[in-house]
Amino acid sequence: KNLFKTIKGLELPDFQRMTYQEAMTTYGSDKPDLRFEMKFVDLSSSMKGNGFKVFDDAEIVLGIRVKGGSGLSRKQLDNLTDFVKSQQVGAKGMVYCKFNEDGSSKSSVDKFYDEGKRNQWAEASFCEKGDILLVLSGEEKQTRKAMSMLRLEMAKRLDIINIGDYKPLWVVDFPLLDWDEETQRWHAIHHPFTSPKTEDIAFMEDDPGKVVANAYDMVINGVEIGGGSIRIHDRETQERVFQLLGMDEKEYKEKFGFLLDAFKYGAPPHGGIALGFDRLCALMGGDESIRDYIAFPKNNMGRDMMLDAPSKIDDLQLEELSLKHKSK
């Protein structure tokens, strides 16, 4: 707050607290931009069971209300559909429903849903006259991710983001572990030294996916400015986490024996946070890229033009360092 007041002359509002689960459910992102609305609405119950196979076969049907969006043209909506179907977003398509100023409604799937059903959508999504409802469906994780990208894209196209507005928040209560289907094992969301919530330690034996971490991220305007956690400070918990990550006793003692031995002598509860100073500077400077804010910027080829790096190393330097070139 002091930085923003001193440098920008702004009173940064109080930091909102939001759980990871709430952020993912409402915005599809663990770093949501709160400068505009468009919260997700689960429309599965009102849209399934009407013969529209796309919705009936989907794990979830999500919608966002776009205020004043009923004036979007067919060309603009087709362009949005192309956006969500792009490789970057990965959705299979988009359904929309306009709620016109005269009280009528028109959707891209009127063949399956009458006006009574469309009115139910309006009620569920809090749409009013002049609004448009944008809908995506499919596998839940992918659909939430795609809707998050559509939400941000709509805000940019409608130019409703106030550049001088700052909405800070803490995102807390991240899962400790994430299951990887490909490798069939657990992975640490942050790192293997993050402490689980005391009340969740019992889940580590039978249901590791339920364990919540003592981890937190600082987010401003959809940018993760910093992240941190309370660390594990007892040997038993640390060994159990290593085991859940697929390490056997020999492996974790070989790699982290020094840490486990240190815990024998008692370690106080401790934690911290790492700030992305370049991201903070870019945010305060009103830029999306950190390229002009990092100490040694690189071009799109990964070269440092100021230092001319990477550059060729002569044979004498290689010999001094006991290194040699390896041709590919």
Mean pLDDT of 79-102: 96
276-296 tens-digit pLDDT: 999 999 999 989 888 888 888
Task: Give the model's confidence band at 302: pLDDT under 50 very low, under 70 low, under 90 confident, else very high.
Answer: confident
Q: How many CB atoms lie within 10 A of CB 170?
A: 14
Q: Is the pLDDT of residue 328 over 80?
A: no
Are 133 and 122 contacting, i.e. CB atoms less than 8 angstroms apart? yes
181-198 tens-digit pLDDT: 889 999 999 999 999 999
Q: Is the pLDDT of residue 82 over 80?
A: yes
pTM score above 0.75: yes
Dist CA 89 CA 39 (whole Å): 18
What are the phi and psi torsion angles at 248 (to 5°)? -90, 170
Quote the pLDDT of residue 139: 97
Dist CA 154 CA 38 (whole Å): 9
pLDDT, the chain, mean: 94
Q: Is the pLDDT of residue 327 over 80?
A: no
Q: Which two tokens stand for residue 1?
A: 């707050």
Query: Per CATH, is 36-157 categorized as 3.40.1450.10?
Result: no
User: Which sequence spans correspond to the domains of the chain?
Assistant: 36-157
Helix (H) or strand (E) holding 237: helix 235-244
